[in-house]
Amino acid sequence: MTAPLSPLRKQSGSRLCWRGRVGLAVSIAAPVALLTGCSVGPDFKRPAAPEVDGYTSEALSTKTASADVAGGKEQRFALGEDIAQQWWTLFRSPELNTLIEQALKANPDMHAAQAALREAMELVYAQQGAYYPSIEAGLSATRQKNAVGTLAPTLSSGSPLFNLFTAEVGVSYAFDVWGGSRRQVESLEAQAELQRFQLEATYLTLTSNVVVAAVQEASLRAQITATEQVIKIETEVVDIFRRQQTLGAVAVAEVVAQEATLAQLQATLPALKKQLAQQRNLLARLAGRFPSEEPAQRFELAALSLPEQLPVSLPSKLVEHRPDVRASEAQLHSASAQVGVAIANMLPQITLTAAGGTTATQVSQWFSPGNQFWSLGASLTQTLFDGGTLLHRKRAAEAALDQAGAQYRSSVLTAFQNVADTLRALQYDADALNAQVAAEHAASESLAIARKALALGSISYLSLLNAEQTYEQTLIGLVQAKANRYADTAALFQALGGGWWNRPEEAAVQASVNPAQHSTLRKN
């Protein structure tokens, strides 16, 4: 299966090359090592995990209710157990596995997220160029005539008409005294990490959406089958009423009422079929296809297996596993580094420049004595007045840091809410399915009794009509209750982060994104 981070792995060689270039820059800047040893601004530290013991206000039940029906298995919660990297395989559907594999390869949202990550990495490499001297070479050739009647001769020969060839090399180096360049690189590395977790979030959302869409398709197929079953029963009842009407046993009004009920049932089929067609279109889009190229896979609830063992990560691990939380953390890190950039811009800047070259009226004379020139220079600049521009940029960076901190806290709260909501849904939807099975059995038996009583003429058509409507509602409700348990299971895996950290290449990927940023990342 295609891993979502393959574009990043292609960049790992460039990353190692960058580390080599850093060593070269340090050797060049050795005379001023003492001047480049600090970085102004806050040093980022990963926020601590929330100090909570559970996801719900009371102790989580160790298992759900069970029901004597397909898809009604008891599910057990395994607190602290890890999540499989391909969790969808627990549904034991080869068709689902194949469709997800196709979606990961062809979905344009995945391609866009991969491209965004590559862009972010290239911006990091571009900014790292500030670590090294800037070297420029120039070569110029001019032909000119000097106004010797007004100006002194340009050439020692006094000739007014001449060619001039100049070759020059210039070197400039801005010392990162306050760490502004390093903070800028740090910020961009955090942005690259943000894009990496955005890619993980896209991966998780895509796989979860495919599973839920497949479950919904299976549910709609089952609802269509159930509706057709009820229509068949209703058609038989209408035939009975018509025969009784010809014998004078029932009134025409009763026959018409039963025919109206049958027509209403038949009218529900097109709506269900429309939803099924739209669900097929959704699956095609998720797989990166046009609606006319819908997937070959068809999904039925009976072909899906409900996972019996549900891993539940420890609350302390959730903030490490959720891609959206990690993306918010990376945004917080980037905002922290930007405060350092803003502070460094307010402080004196030191730049060294050097230039050297040769000039002559003929190229062959470039290396003749007296035709060479050179210059060395150093500058120290400090902004004295800018109308408060730099000050307000610093304050804006600090406000952005506060904003990123609040957004991080919000993402953590949302993550815990998602898990708590899903755990509640798993428990209560299991109870609902159990109750729905009992209701369907009772409604089926009631309808059978009513049909026999109607044939004997011992009940009115209204009693039969109520029994039919009750059975129809419970049959559709049973199908939906089954589908809810599959969808809830997929939602739990999504809420817990999806197991991306268990991919074999993940450790190398994390190191290649930012080897010096967080040693704790490699420990996770």
Tell me the C-alpha distance between 483 and 16, whole Å: 49
Q: Is the pLDDT of residue 448 over 70?
A: yes
Q: Is the pLDDT of residue 493 over 60?
A: yes
Q: Is the pLDDT of residue 141 over 90?
A: yes
Share of the chain above pLDDT 90, in %: 67
Q: Is the pLDDT of residue 27 over 80?
A: no
Angle 86-91-96 from CA coordinates, rounded to 5°? 75
**Dihedral sign computed on CA atoms, order 86, 91, 94, 97:** negative
pLDDT band at 447 (very low <50, low <70, confident <90, very high): confident
Identify the DSSP state of 205: H
Helix axis angle for 252-286 and 461-495, nearest 10°, is 10
Would you list the DSSP string of 341-366?
Answer: HHHHHTS-EEEEEEEEEEEESSGGGT
Weakest-pLDDT range from 26-40, 175-189, 411-425, 468-482: 26-40
Is beta strand 134-145 parallel, antiparallel or unpaired with respect to 76-79?
unpaired
Q: Is the pLDDT of residue 70 over 50?
A: yes
Q: Does residue 54 contact residue 60 with C-beta atoms inside 8 Å? A: yes
Across all residues in the chain, what is the average pLDDT? 86
Tell me the C-alpha distance between 252 and 285, whole Å: 51
Write down the pLDDT at residue 505.
62
Tell me the C-alpha distance between 61 and 246, whole Å: 60
Fold of 6-42+67-523: Outer membrane efflux proteins (OEP) (1.20.1600)
- The stretch 89-96 carries a mean pLDDT of 96
Q: Which residues contact 77 (CB under 8 A, 6 or more apart)?
A: 60, 61, 62, 63, 310, 312, 423
Tens of pLDDT, residue by residue over 361-380, are 888 888 888 889 999 999 99
- The stretch 282-294 carries a mean pLDDT of 96
Q: Does residue 400 contact residue 187 with C-beta atoms inside 8 Å? A: no
Q: Which residues contact 288 (CB under 8 A, 6 or more apart)?
A: 102, 103, 105, 106, 107, 108
Side chain identity, residue 211 = V
Write down the pLDDT at residue 468.
83
As to burial, measured by CB atoms within 10 angstroms (0-12 exposed, 13-18 middle, 19+ buried), residue 73 is middle
pLDDT band at 205 (very low <50, low <70, confident <90, very high): very high
pTM, rounded to two decimals: 0.84
Q: Does residue 230 contact residue 468 with C-beta atoms inside 8 Å? A: yes
Nearest residue to 164 (alpha-carbon basis) of 363, 357, 361: 361
Tell me the C-alpha distance between 298 and 217, whole Å: 8
Q: Is the pLDDT of residue 30 over 60?
A: no
| Bigger pLDDT: 129 vs 32 | 129
Write down the pLDDT at residue 341.
96
Domain ranges of the chain: 6-42+67-523
Q: Does residue 227 contact residue 476 with C-beta atoms inside 8 Å? A: yes
Tell me the C-alpha distance between 349 and 335, whole Å: 22
What are the helix (H) ranges across 141-251? Answer: 180-246
Quote the tokens at residue 255: 């026959």
Quote the tokens at residue 205: 């959302």
Tell me the C-alpha distance between 467 and 237, whole Å: 12
CB atoms within 10 A of CB 16: 11
Nearest residue to 181 (alpha-carbon basis) of 41, 45, 354: 41
Quote the tokens at residue 477: 């409700």
User: What is the length of the chain?
Assistant: 524
Tell me the C-alpha distance between 98 and 94, whole Å: 6
Write down the pLDDT at residue 204.
97
Q: Is the pLDDT of residue 118 over 80?
A: yes
Write down the pLDDT at residue 506.
58
Q: Does residue 183 contact residue 344 with C-beta atoms inside 8 Å? A: yes
Q: Is the pLDDT of residue 101 over 60?
A: yes
Quote the tokens at residue 7: 């574009």
